Amino acid sequence: MRPAFGALVLALCSSLVASLPSATPGYRVKESVAPPRGWTKGDEPAADHVIVLRIGLPQHNFNVLEQHLFEVSDPDHARYGEYLSKEKVEELVAPHPSSLEAVDKWLASYGLEEADLTRSPAKDWVTIKVPVKTVEKMLDTKYNVWKHTASGDVLVRTTSYSLPAELYDYIDVIQPTTMFGRLRTARSTIVWNDDEDFSSAAAARVGTITDTASGAAVDASCNRTITIKCLQQLYNAEGYTPLATVKNSIGITGYLEQFANIQDLQSFYADQRPDALNTSFNFVSVKGGINDQNLTLSGAEAALDVQFAFGLSYPVNSTFWSTAGRPPFQPDDRTPTNTNEPYVDWLDFVLAQKEVPLSISTSYGDDEQTVPRSYAIRACAGFAQLGVRGVSVIFSSGDFGVGDGNPDPATQECFTNDGRNTTRFIPVFPATVTSVGGTESVPEVAVSRFFSGGGFSDYFPRPSYQDRVVRKFLSNLPKGLYKDLYNPQGRGFPDVASQGDRYRIFLRGVPRSIGGTSASSPTFAGIVALLNDHRLRSQKPPLGFLNPLLYTRGLAGFNDITSGKNPGCGTEGFNATTGWDPVTGLGTPNFGKLKDLL
């Protein structure tokens, strides 16, 4: 019997919309969504506008891979840590020959031969470049130019597509079709020097504070400015020096033209990590992504991510990926644009690599409801493939509380995207891997300058490893509180938390103070890199997919955060409380305890 593995149990789900439009005889509607909120439908695109179409074929033995993932990630299983090779993973997710044959025959009927196709290593994705007029015939649909009112972003999309009836079961998903997600970073709020003094002198305040949750003695200055030393003190990692630097590794994903400037990194190292001076990271371009070193183009998000993730884990091998994904776009231009979620382009690239960093942080995501369920499932299948190879994938939980970060009912903006426009909490995607919320201050409380993202997925069921702690949280909520605003059977997030405000970074040559769960995720990834070092030097495998471990053997290694809340959607949101909560998860890490427990 297959285990109920929860967030990564990726059984195909029904469409988001119960009532599907009719299709041309001989076709069946594959997916349909309501016209998305905030987007305005415009003219038809030019007939020769080229679309890069990605076709996902069913992963024939994914249930077997899922079983492997459950076993190698369960600390009480005999196979814990026995990760699979890239080649074995590809064998398990390869489509059945009948799927390949059916799809190839269909594509050939439109004049597309093998030379026109790009296949993933496992052949479970096929990518083609075709004019929109051809795509419309293939999918029995009509594309339009859609404009996002608030940002001005423009996409060529449809709200429904169909497949020939005989092909229906041979394809899981096709995009870009119904995807209206807008990849965004967590808030990354910057406080400029004009507002407050963040000089080294101001930060160097004397005295210590005892954190009540962890018992750690922390410099008083950490209540004003977070540095590497603050995190080491607060999370009981002070004095630990990684040794297993050959096998160990950490990675940061970069999107949306966020460039990681090496000069800024050197300034940061001189300020907080002088032993790392004159060292840097490996840069890897994905889909033509660049890392422009013009200091004026240094990105706040990228600076925060690389400086703290790599500074905290130094001298562990470090990688920064830059994934292209937001070029200038005119809807009458033939040039195809990468307006899909670039994190899936990154995922495709990384899964094709023989070696992958063992701890990876991403500070970007979407509102879950803007990502079609079928596409979300396939993305999570990709994250599962990394997990079964021994990689820990970590995402920030977002900075908008339970939805929009707005407690005012009169101006809240949390509405369903299914055509009903009812008020509902808005979970983020992907929060199905390991999700990190935000704290602040010493003693630690849930962050308050923005609001730690948290809640419950509407797509993914609660995993079995979460059952006990989430049930306990829900049982203690006042009866009827937020009824119908969230899915109590959904996967809860975040899983954990770490400091998320007043981080001292260097940006464009000067120190800045920055906050957001954008800071929390790379910090936690740095702690995971240190834990991997401890395991590798003891001849043990890396931690891989973290959650089954965190919710069992790792529970005693977290500082429980019991103060704060995450308002949004016209409510006060949830409260941080004893045990797991959808604000700070299990709490913040105690490295010293975790390395002994794990």
Pick out the residues of the known binding site for Ca(2+). 560-561, 579, 581
Predicted local distance difference test score (pLDDT) of residue 491 = 97
User: Is 301 an active-site residue?
Assistant: yes
Predicted local distance difference test score (pLDDT) of residue 329 = 56
For residue 532, which phi and psi values (nearest 5 degrees)? -60, -40
Higher-confidence position of 490 and 215? 490
The encoded tokens of residue 279 equal 């060292």
- Among 111-125, 181-195, 425-439, 567-581, where is mean pLDDT lowest? 181-195
Predicted local distance difference test score (pLDDT) of residue 186 = 54
Dist CA 544 CA 524 (whole Å): 14
Instruction: Evaluate if residue 49 carries a pLDDT over 70.
Output: yes
Name the active-site residue from 124, 140, 305, 345: 305
Task: Work out the pLDDT band at 17, boundaries 50, 70, 90.
Answer: very low
Predicted local distance difference test score (pLDDT) of residue 450 = 86
Contacts of residue 258, defined as CB under 8 A and 6 or more positions apart, other chains included, come to 185, 299, 300, 301, 302, 322
CB 352 within 8 A of CB 383: no
CA angle 465, 466, 472 (to 5 degrees): 135
The radius of gyration computed from the CA coordinates of the chain, to the nearest angstrom, equals 23
Question: Tell me, what amino acid is at 455?
Answer: G
pLDDT tens, 99-141? 999 999 999 999 999 999 999 999 999 999 999 999 999 999 9
Contacts of residue 54, defined as CB under 8 A and 6 or more positions apart, other chains included, come to 125, 126, 127, 174, 175, 176, 340
The encoded tokens of residue 438 equal 């935000």
User: Is 305 an active-site residue?
Assistant: yes
Q: What percent of the chain has pLDDT over 70?
A: 90
Dist CA 380 CA 341 (whole Å): 13
Predicted local distance difference test score (pLDDT) of residue 13 = 31
Pick out the residues of the known binding site. 560-561, 579, 581
Dist CA 393 CA 550 (whole Å): 14
- Locus of tokens 């492997």: 68
Name the active-site residue from 301, 341, 399, 501: 301
Instruction: Write down the pTM of the prediction.
Output: 0.92
Higher-confidence position of 344 and 326? 344
Instruction: Evaluate if residue 212 carries a pLDDT over 60.
Output: yes
Give the bridge partners for 451, in sequence order: 400
Instruction: Evaluate if residue 196 carries a pLDDT over 60.
Output: no
Q: Which CATH superfamily is domain 188-597 in?
A: Peptidase S8/S53 domain (3.40.50.200)
Domain boundaries, the chain: 6-184, 188-597
Distances 304 to 117, 262, 276, 322, 402 between C-alpha atoms, Å: 38, 12, 16, 15, 24
Dist CA 53 CA 106 (whole Å): 14
Give the bridge partners for 284, in sequence order: 321
Name the active-site residue from 99, 267, 318, 518: 518
User: Is 368 an active-site residue?
Assistant: no
Cis omega (within 30 of 0) for bond into 522: no
Predicted local distance difference test score (pLDDT) of residue 449 = 84
- Locus of tokens 């900075």: 399
Task: Work out the pLDDT band at 190, boundaries 50, 70, 90.
Answer: low
Q: What is the mean pLDDT of residues 398-418?
A: 91
The encoded tokens of residue 542 equal 């890396």
